[in-house]
Amino acid sequence: MRVDVLTIFPEMFRGPLDVSIVGRARAEGHLELHVHDLREHARDRHRLTDDYPFGGGSGMVMKPEPFFQAFDALAPGWPGRPWVVLLSPQGERLTQRKAVELSGRPFLCLLCGRYEGIDERVREGLVDEEISIGDYVLTGGELPAMVLIDAVARLLPGVLGSPASVAEESFTGGLLEYPQYTRPRVFRGMAVPDVLLSGDHGAVRRWRRKQSLCRTALRRPDLLLLAPLDAEDRRLLRELKDEGVFGDGVPAVEQVLAAR
């Protein structure tokens, strides 16, 4: 996959994307990343990328010209037309599903805004899709772009050693992760649950599933309602309920147990 980024802060992309799995994905050619400085495409004398808002108001707006100029300058060297994504709080939420969908595209172009907003004609003329990484305002789209690249890069074929990890994510099927442990067996008085040392693979699998269900019910009941649950899952949820884990009751658990 190829990813081009347009930003007035290209130096922000040095570091996070040079190391670890994304760094290796780039070194091995699974991900080709090109970060472009929008300021180099600002035509005016002062290379301005922002201007005052028409209609008045506080704050500055990102000018449209640098984005369009950058496209005109870069397009002749591009292998095709990229899928253009603007990172913005007004976008559709980045989910694992969206990351999987984007990972299937051969060529992305990520637009990063700054200031208090971006001239609307950038959306009209260049953007295929607007994506948000969450409901908070940042100082720009650069960190969200890096989050998107990280989420997508690890899904590219050959990037993760075992596709089993990726398969397990979809197998865990919309539930939260179970607790994980490594050595030592006892650390500062905190012991690893006995079942994980038992060698009973069936018991380990059931314990993990039960823990995933428990955590999801308590922390993300919205996800529990969406997850594909089978008869064993409902049995484990009933066990947790009978153990008093859900206190006065979690509505999502009642709903799931009533449904069958």
List beta partners, residue 132.
93
Candidates 132, 192, 196, 220: give the one binding ligand 9WO (CB under 6 A).
132
Q: Which is nearer to ligand 9WO, 33 or 118 (CB)?
A: 118
Residue 125 is a binding residue for ligand 9WO (CB under 6 A): no
The mark string for 22-61 relative to ligand 9WO (x by CB under 6 A, - otherwise) is -------------------------------------x--
Tell me which of 133, 153, 175, 250 binds ligand 9WO, using CB under 6 A.
133
Tell me which of 38, 70, 84, 87 binds ligand 9WO, using CB under 6 A.
87
b/e map 170-190, b = 16+ CB within 10 Å: eebebbbebeeeeeeeeeeee
On the question of a cis peptide bond just before residue 184, with omega within 30 degrees of 0, the verdict is yes
Per CB under 6 A, does 64 bind ligand 9WO? no
* Cβ 99 vs Cβ 155: under 8 Å: yes
User: In this structure, what DSSP letter does residue 60 have?
Assistant: -
Q: Shortest approach of ligand 9WO to residue 25 CB, angstroms?
A: 22
141 binds ligand 9WO (CB under 6 A): yes
CB neighbours of residue 223 within 10 Å: 16
Please choose, from the candidates 156, 140, 135, 104, the residue with its C-alpha nearest in 3D space to the C-alpha of residue 5. Answer: 140
SS3 34: strand
Peptide bond into 228 cis (omega under 30): no
The only residue of 16, 23, 53, 117 in contact with ligand 9WO, by rule CB under 6 A: 117
Least CB distance to ligand 9WO at residue 242 (A): 42
**Sites of contact with ligand 9WO (CB under 6 A):** 59, 87-89, 113-114, 116-118, 132-134, 137-138, 140-141, 144
